Amino acid sequence: MTVLVIGGSGDLGSRILAALAARGVDALGLTRSPATGCVVGDLTDPESLERALVGVSRMFLQSSPTREQVDIESGAIAAAEQAGVERIVKLSNIPIAGLETGLHGNHRAIERRLEASPLQTTALQPSFFSSVVDKQRDLLARGKLVLPTGRGKIAWIDPQDIADVAAEALVREQVPAALHITGPHALDGDEVAARLGVKRLDPPLQSWRDAVVAGGLDPWLADSTVHLYEAVARGALAEVTDTVPRLLNRSARPVFARRADATS
């Protein structure tokens, strides 16, 4: 078995490569720039993907959240089919009723393309990565955290759990078509801030949207995130699942616990 991990030099991809190596699986990453354990290529460059897929039996698929994501990932699925890949495991997100546009619409469209494929396919549907909080490290250092999600709870998940589930889905013989994965607890913004020992800010969504767009975020992605945060406030990501312990035979990792311990 040989596994190709798209985005192998990124945070999640490198974790998946390490998890596969720990299982003794032959794996390499695909990345735009040279990196250890990776080949250079790009999902928008069909020839580079074709070269990378030679001899590959299973593929982990992820790409950047852009308007073109459906076309890019659909092209990668077609390339895997042509190359004789047996299984694709795709990074997706949790389906939310009523969200069929933006980033969520992208993932639903790509999942439908997977369902139509003759290959074995699995969509990983994680809740929020707990690591997204780290993107506010400068603000956290000043004792603040922005989470414009109202009173909605999120079943935050540690990215290592996502990587371990991805590795397991890539190597197992039988895997469900979709895996809804979460952490062990659902926390609202105030609870996250309390664990981190900082003050939580919950600005109006329009103000948040204007600020992040002014800071350079693609308006399409900003609007998609606004719709997601509105759904979170309604409780859309509060469900806790047993997928991690069921697949990995261990508990899901606690989130934000290390900082909580450090501030207690």
pLDDT in tens, 175-212: 999 999 999 999 999 999 999 999 999 999 999 999 99
Kindly tell me if the per-residue pLDDT of 260 is higher than 80.
Answer: no
Q: What is the pTM of this model?
A: 0.94
Q: For residue 101, what are its two tokens?
A: 């546009």
Work out the pLDDT band at 261, boundaries 50, 70, 90.
Answer: very low
Kindly tell me if the per-residue pLDDT of 150 is higher than 50.
Answer: yes
Contact present, 221 and 103 (Cβ < 8 Å): yes
Phi, psi values for residue 239, rounded to 5°? -70, 135
Average pLDDT over residues 55-81: 97
Kindly tell me if the per-residue pLDDT of 49 is higher than 50.
Answer: yes
Query: How far is the C-alpha of 52 from the C-alpha of 40, rounded, in Å?
Result: 8
Q: Determine which helix (DSSP H) or strand (DSSP E) holds 52, and give its type and residue range.
A: helix 46-52
Enter the DSSP assignment of 176: -
- Domain positions in the chain: 2-263
Class at the top of the CATH hierarchy for domain 2-263: alpha beta
